Structure 1
Amino acid sequence: MDFSLSVEQQMVRDSARDYLAAHSDSAAVRRVTEAGPAHDDALWRAISGELGWCGIALPEAVGGVGLGATGLVLLQEQLGQRLACVPFWSSACLVAPWLQASLGERGSAQWLERLAVGECRGAAVLPDDGGWHYDGVAIAAQASADGFVLRGGAVQVPDAFGADWLLVPARLDDGAPALFLLEPVALADDERFRLAPLDTLDRTRPLASLRLDGLHVCASACLARGDAAALGLAHAWWHGKLMLAAEQLGAAQQCLDLSVAYAAERIQFGRAIASFQAVKHRCAQMMVLVEAARSAVYGAAQAWESTDMADARLEIAAAAVAADDALRFCAQEAIQLHGGVGFTWEYDPQLYFKRAQAASHWLGGAGAALAYIAANGPHSWRTA
């Protein structure tokens, strides 16, 4: 498979890298998170509105750029490298594809147009079991005279605070899946709707718990039901899995870059520790894992656009495992190669180590990906 990037794609990658280096450096990330999990509102307004990143993968008909999954992967990689405190993954990588798949091109246009220009942002409630199906959905929707009554909740919802839209999967009375769109701002004073912030290890991505205690919503809040709703959840989950892997890839690359830079300036026994064979070997191993993950992620992005969904899911699962392994290894190696100060607050490796630990559990982590490969791969193990 040809992984070469077009001139346009290289420009997207390079401009994103330069912009985030200037506006989401370590000092900026620390300013945002020092009081707790939070978003960088100024950065979000810039990348979503002025730069138009939220529309990079969306079709031109809704105000997007039309660069597809590969363009979005390139942005996610750079955002992950800087641990940018913005809800890009939730809004552009989960909500947008969920609406596209559930409502179709024409039905989703009114929503995607607002997402593409940064006018609104969304958050997605995903099954608590980390799966891509409705088996783990813990929200029930009971039909009423003029709408639905929602009961249940979710343990963790990324980027829920400040979101204009909250996509909520639920089960109807007959067990059929359904997709609801809630507006948190309009429901803020309703006691039956509760979003509670969570104090998390990784403060660069805020999480919240959701509780719906008999919340009444109008019939129009149900955007899709049946096969359309199920298709949308699966589409969003796998797309989100791919983009999470791209984010982990970027974070792993930064761990390598930080380690190489520190090794070049740290003097021990009269010379830089970068000259020691053992340090070179450890940095080389980090690079091998990063490059392997990059090949897997870029290949999965192309597979998402050019092959059938079954093959694309296998590619994404493999990329998810490679990226998770790369980030966890590189984060711990970065701490070790920084010596006694590697784990301290003043140095950045601890930020990436926390992201590595947190991201390893999102969307089922590497375990869900490996289970999918084992069950669906070309040499899968099946029980009679």
Structure 2
Amino acid sequence: MDFDLSEEQRLLQDSVAKLLADKYGFEQRKAYMKAPEGWSREVWSQFAELGLLGLPFAEDEGGFGGGAVDTLLVAEQLGRAITLEPWLSTVVIGGGFLRNGASAELRSAMVPKIAAGELLLAFAQAERQSRYDLFDVATTAKKDGSGWSITGRKGYVVHGDSADALIVTARTAGGQRDQRGIGVFLVDAKDPGVQRRGYRTVDGQRAAEVEFANARAEAVLGNPEHGLPLVDQVVDETIAALAGEAVGAMQVAHDMTVDYMKTRQQFGRPIGSFQALQHRAADMLVALEQARSMSYFAAMSAEERDPLERRKAMATVKVQIGRSARFVGQQSIQLHGGIAMTMEYACGHYFKRLTVNDAMFGDADHYVRYLADIGGLVQAA
């Protein structure tokens, strides 16, 4: 199988890398974190100019027609800089719902605004009791004339405090854990029935707790009584992007650790000269390359039409990426020593992002249990 990138993909990768090298040094990132929104509008505008915000959308709708591999390449570069901007929530997750579940009229109205950097989206799905189960939804949606009225609470809505519109899962029928009766709705974040409490997450990003009190939905994405397959599809596509972001962060954590081992002196010699530490750095590299291979597999599997096969593929991706991220992150902290625990040094920030990345939509342990519950990757005859 040919894994070589096309000329356009190399150009995309290089363009993003150059932009982030110029605009996203570690000190610049700390300054962006202190901004009122917790990220940089200037950088966001440059993302738009580079075409990153319209990347996955069809060209006739105002996008650039990129595929899963293009998204992976961008995500990896963003992971190398552990960026704070709402690219994942708006372009990958929000864009996934629009591409797979919105009407042509809604896409034509929203995609150009997203591509221009004028519209931010966030996915309000998790609830206090739901853990990683996408079907555990207590928030309700009731028919209200020609529209829907949303009532309930959502937690950990990534970039929910700055989003212009919220994509909300809500129950139209059935019990709290029924897999049918779940709809996906588009709600104006400034609706009088929406209350948001923003906060900073452990990795420096922004998120919000959101309460809906008879908030009016502006549109329904997909089937209002059978929207879970749409949610599953978008989450699987997002896992592929998260894999790329994790690989980018792991690469920098490994590079920083090896460089530190070459310069840190102990007993009159660089600590990198000790064979035991060389073995640990080599093990980090092996874990990184295993994760990189799985990120390629994720990009190839993201567009699988069979939902069961796609979910099994993404489960294996989550398991390997999560395990590699934990190992690389822990070893980078250990090999750096005390300096890695300080807020002033970048290494710890990469480990925090890797930890949050692993937990999004289910950690490695969750997907090991999922694979065990369905009988493994290969079904017995």
Q: What TM-score do the two structures reach when normalised by structure 1? A: 0.89
Seen in structure 2, the aligned counterparts of structure 1 residues 35 and 164 have a Cα distance that, compared at 3 Å, is closer
Alignment equivalent of 2:356, drawn from 335, 346, 358: 358
Contact 1:102 1:224 in 2 (8 A): yes
Query: How far did 1:247 drift?
Result: 1.2
SS of corresponding position for 2:302: helix
- C-alpha distance in 2 between matches for 1:78 and 1:328: 20
- C-alpha distance in 1 between matches for 2:198 and 2:105: 35
* Letter of the structure 2 residue corresponding to residue 241 of structure 1: I
Deviates more, 1:299-308 or 1:117-126: 299-308
Match of 2:114 in 1: 115
- C-alpha distance in 2 between matches for 1:320 and 1:255: 19
Listed as ranges, the gaps of 5+ residues in structure 1 are none
Match of 2:58 in 1: 59
SS of corresponding position for 2:152: strand
SS of corresponding position for 1:198: strand
Q: Deviations along 1:223-260, whole A, 9 cap, x unmatched?
A: 44346633321211111122112111111111101111
Contact 1:142 1:149 in 2 (8 A): yes
- C-alpha distance in 1 between matches for 2:66 and 2:162: 27
Counterparts of residues 12-161 of structure 1 (less than 5 Å)? 12-34=12-34, 38-47=38-47, 49-103=48-102, 108-128=107-127, 129-131=130-132, 133=134, 135-145=135-145, 147-161=147-161
Query: How far did 1:37 drift?
Result: 7.6
Match of 1:201 in 2: 202
Seen in structure 2, the aligned counterparts of structure 1 residues 233 and 350 have a Cα distance that, compared at 3 Å, is same
Match of 2:188 in 1: 183
Contact 1:139 1:152 in 2 (8 A): yes
Q: Deviations along 1:279-323, whole A, 9 cap, x unmatched?
A: 211111111111111111112201223664433332222222222
Seen in structure 2, the aligned counterparts of structure 1 residues 297 and 227 have a Cα distance that, compared at 3 Å, is farther
Q: Deviations along 1:303-353, whole A, 9 cap, x unmatched?
A: 223664433332222222222222221111111111232211221111122
Counterparts of residues 289-368 of structure 1 (less than 5 Å)? 289-305=287-303, 308-368=306-366
- C-alpha distance in 1 between matches for 2:56 and 2:28: 27
Seen in structure 2, the aligned counterparts of structure 1 residues 27 and 97 have a Cα distance that, compared at 3 Å, is same
Deviates more, 1:138-147 or 1:80-89: 138-147
Aligned-residue CA RMSD in angstroms? 2.5
Match of 2:270 in 1: 272
SS of corresponding position for 1:136: coil
- C-alpha distance in 2 between matches for 1:94 and 1:376: 29
Contact 1:132 1:234 in 2 (8 A): no
SS of corresponding position for 1:213: strand
Contact 2:97 2:221 in 1 (8 A): no
Query: How far did 1:371 drift?
Result: 3.0
Q: What TM-score do the two structures reach when normalised by structure 2? A: 0.89
- C-alpha distance in 2 between matches for 1:363 and 1:37: 24
* Higher normalized contact order (CA 8 Å, seq sep 6+, divided by chain length): 1
Match of 1:163 in 2: 163
Match of 2:250 in 1: 252
Deviates more, 1:174-183 or 1:280-289: 174-183
Seen in structure 2, the aligned counterparts of structure 1 residues 377 and 10 have a Cα distance that, compared at 3 Å, is farther
Seen in structure 2, the aligned counterparts of structure 1 residues 71 and 132 have a Cα distance that, compared at 3 Å, is farther
SS of corresponding position for 2:168: strand
- C-alpha distance in 2 between matches for 1:178 and 1:305: 22
- C-alpha distance in 2 between matches for 1:179 and 1:323: 28
Query: How far did 1:109 drift?
Result: 3.5
- C-alpha distance in 2 between matches for 1:173 and 1:380: 33
Seen in structure 2, the aligned counterparts of structure 1 residues 247 and 300 have a Cα distance that, compared at 3 Å, is same
* Letter of the structure 1 residue corresponding to residue 202 of structure 2: L
Query: How far did 1:36 drift?
Result: 8.5
Seen in structure 2, the aligned counterparts of structure 1 residues 242 and 280 have a Cα distance that, compared at 3 Å, is same
Percentage of identical aligned residues: 30
- C-alpha distance in 2 between matches for 1:125 and 1:24: 28
- C-alpha distance in 2 between matches for 1:377 and 1:46: 44
- C-alpha distance in 1 between matches for 2:38 and 2:170: 28
- C-alpha distance in 1 between matches for 2:50 and 2:244: 20
Match of 1:210 in 2: 210
Query: How far did 1:107 drift?
Result: 5.4
Contact 2:265 2:271 in 1 (8 A): yes
Counterparts of residues 213-252 of structure 1 (less than 5 Å)? 213-215=213-215, 217=216, 220-226=218-224, 229-252=227-250
Contact 2:318 2:358 in 1 (8 A): no
Seen in structure 2, the aligned counterparts of structure 1 residues 3 and 116 have a Cα distance that, compared at 3 Å, is same
Listed as ranges, the gaps of 5+ residues in structure 2 are 175-179
Contact 1:170 1:177 in 2 (8 A): yes
- C-alpha distance in 2 between matches for 1:339 and 1:99: 45
Seen in structure 2, the aligned counterparts of structure 1 residues 252 and 285 have a Cα distance that, compared at 3 Å, is same
SS of corresponding position for 2:201: coil
- C-alpha distance in 2 between matches for 1:305 and 1:239: 8
Query: How far did 1:3 drift?
Result: 2.4
Match of 1:3 in 2: 3
